[in-house]
Structure 1
Amino acid sequence: MIDLYYWTTPNGHKVTLFLEEAGLDYRIHPINIGKGEQFSPEFLEIAPNNRIPAIVDRAPSDGGQPLSLFESGAILEYLADKSGKFLPKSGRQRYRVLQWLYWQMGGLGPMAGQNHHFRNYAPKKIEYAVERYINETSRLYGVLDKQLDDNEYVAGDDYSIADMAIWPWIKPYEKQGQDIEDYPNLQRWFERVGERDAVKRAYAKAEEINPQNNVEMNDEARRHLFGQ
């Protein structure tokens, strides 16, 4: 059994996508980040960086004590190795997948995240910041579009944890100031992944936990989310 500490953000969705695809038993523990639940002592024991997602594997492969992990990329890599799915065990293709996983972790996620913040949540509009992060998001979309020109999925012919990591960050493309029709290869891939049954199940669970992905952006939420 996997205990998943989760909220309905792109990083949270990555893990539910994997768990639904792999058919692993799991239970969700919602961590409402707008209410500051990520700062509870119990959660910080699992995720000292006070960010979701995090997991506790109650039955790790080594047979030892329960294993806790934070950071969505590390969680995806661990679960893929545990289940033997969506990441080759060795060889060049394993590293092709991992390079795109790390590309998301180090590039697309942080840049799109800042894009969301300055376009949608910042108390003051800073035009330079908005323009910078829209442009950088656009550049990264272009990189991905080129990669998908002759690949069915991000790392090649097979669906992998790289796709699971990237897709939730593309889904809110309108909030990032992007027109997905400008990236035809990316659009084709985005629509194909969105039709997967596991993706639909994962987002249905998100809707149950946090209908319409609502965040009441009051002073309390700003303090918890942005340190304001």
Structure 2
Amino acid sequence: MIDLYYCATPNGHKLTMFLEEVGLPYRIIPVDIGKGEQFRPEFLAISPNNKIPAMVDHEPEGGGAPISLFESGAMLLYLAEKTGRLLPHDLAGRAEVLQWLFWQVAGLGPMAGQNGHFNVYAPEKVPYAIERYEKETNRLYGVLDRRLADREYVAGEFSIADIAAYPWIVPHEAHGQNLDDFPHLKRWFDAIAARPATVRAYEGVAESYSRANPMSEEARRILFGQTAASTAL
């Protein structure tokens, strides 16, 4: 059994997508990041960077003590190796998937995340920051669109590279992007959205990133006001 410490964010959805794809039993343990539950000692013991998702595998390969992990990319790689699914076994295919997995965790996720922060969550509009991150998100969409021009999925076969990238394209409208400008990306996006596992993973939470109500100052402080010396609770 996998315990998944989860909130309905792009990084959280990576893990539910994978687990639904492979049919691995899991239990969701909700973490309310707006209330600061990610700073509780019991969560920090699993995720020292106080971010979701995090997970505990109570049945690791070969037996032994439960294994806890944080960082969504590391978790996808671990689960792919555990199950033997969604990661090629040959050296070249594995390398191709991993470089696009790392492209997402080092590029697409952080840039789109900053885009969303300055467009949606920042208490005041900062035109330079908005323009900077919208343009960089647009550039990265272009990278992915060109990659998909001659292949169905990012690394040929459907893999953890696709699962990593897809949730960061879901909030494209909030990030100031039009998928019609990226026809190959749009075709790929629509195909993944239609997968039964994706539908299950997003059921009831598809609009989770759109904040209909303004964020409270307390939630803003908890989410964005932390330093090494501060605590949220």
- Name the TM-score class by shorter chain: over 0.9
Question: Does residue 204 in structure 1 map to residue 203 in structure 2?
Answer: yes
Residues 123/219 of structure 1: CA separation in 2 closer, same or farther (3 Å cut): same
CA contact (8 A) 1:8 1:213 kept: no
Question: Does residue 227 in structure 1 map to residue 225 in structure 2?
Answer: yes
CA contact (8 A) 1:2 1:58 kept: yes
Question: Partner of 1:149: helix, strand, or coil?
Answer: helix
Per the TM alignment, residue 128 of structure 1 is displaced from its structure 2 partner at its CA by 0.5
1:174: which partner in 2? 173
How many Å separate the matches in 2 of 1:77 and 1:214?
34
Residues 164/221 of structure 1: CA separation in 2 closer, same or farther (3 Å cut): same
CA contact (8 A) 2:171 2:209 kept: no
Per the TM alignment, residue 207 of structure 1 is displaced from its structure 2 partner at its CA by 6.0
CA contact (8 A) 1:97 1:162 kept: yes
- Runs of 5+ unmatched residues, structure 1: none
CA displacement, residues 166-220 of structure 1 (integer Å, 9 cap, x when unaligned):
0000011000000110000000000000000000000115469x69777761011
Question: Partner of 1:174: helix, strand, or coil?
Answer: coil
CA contact (8 A) 1:111 1:136 kept: yes
- Runs of 5+ unmatched residues, structure 2: 227-233
2:66: which partner in 1? 66
Question: Partner of 1:61: helix, strand, or coil?
Answer: coil
Give, as a single letter, the amino acid of the residue that structure 1 aligns with 2:180: E
How many Å separate the matches in 2 of 1:14 and 1:215?
25
For 1:100-115, list aligned pairs within 5 A.
Answer: 100-115=100-115
Per the TM alignment, residue 11 of structure 1 is displaced from its structure 2 partner at its CA by 0.2
Question: Does residue 130 in structure 1 map to residue 145 in structure 2?
Answer: no
1:193: which partner in 2? 192
How many Å separate the matches in 2 of 1:116 and 1:100?
22
CA contact (8 A) 2:31 2:38 kept: yes
Of stretches 161-170 and 89-98 in structure 1, the one that deviates more from structure 2 is 89-98
CA contact (8 A) 1:44 1:50 kept: yes
Per the TM alignment, residue 124 of structure 1 is displaced from its structure 2 partner at its CA by 1.3
How many Å separate the matches in 1 of 2:211 and 2:4?
18
How many Å separate the matches in 2 of 1:214 and 1:9?
15
CA displacement, residues 62-85 of structure 1 (integer Å, 9 cap, x when unaligned):
211000000000000000000000
Q: Which has the higher helix share?
A: 1
CA contact (8 A) 1:155 1:162 kept: yes
CA contact (8 A) 1:6 1:28 kept: yes
CA displacement, residues 123-169 of structure 1 (integer Å, 9 cap, x when unaligned):
1111000000000000000000000000100111x100000000000
Residues 21/213 of structure 1: CA separation in 2 closer, same or farther (3 Å cut): farther
Equivalent pairs, count: 226
2:5: which partner in 1? 5
Report % sequence identity: 62
Per the TM alignment, residue 90 of structure 1 is displaced from its structure 2 partner at its CA by 3.5
RMSD: 1.7
2:93: which partner in 1? 93
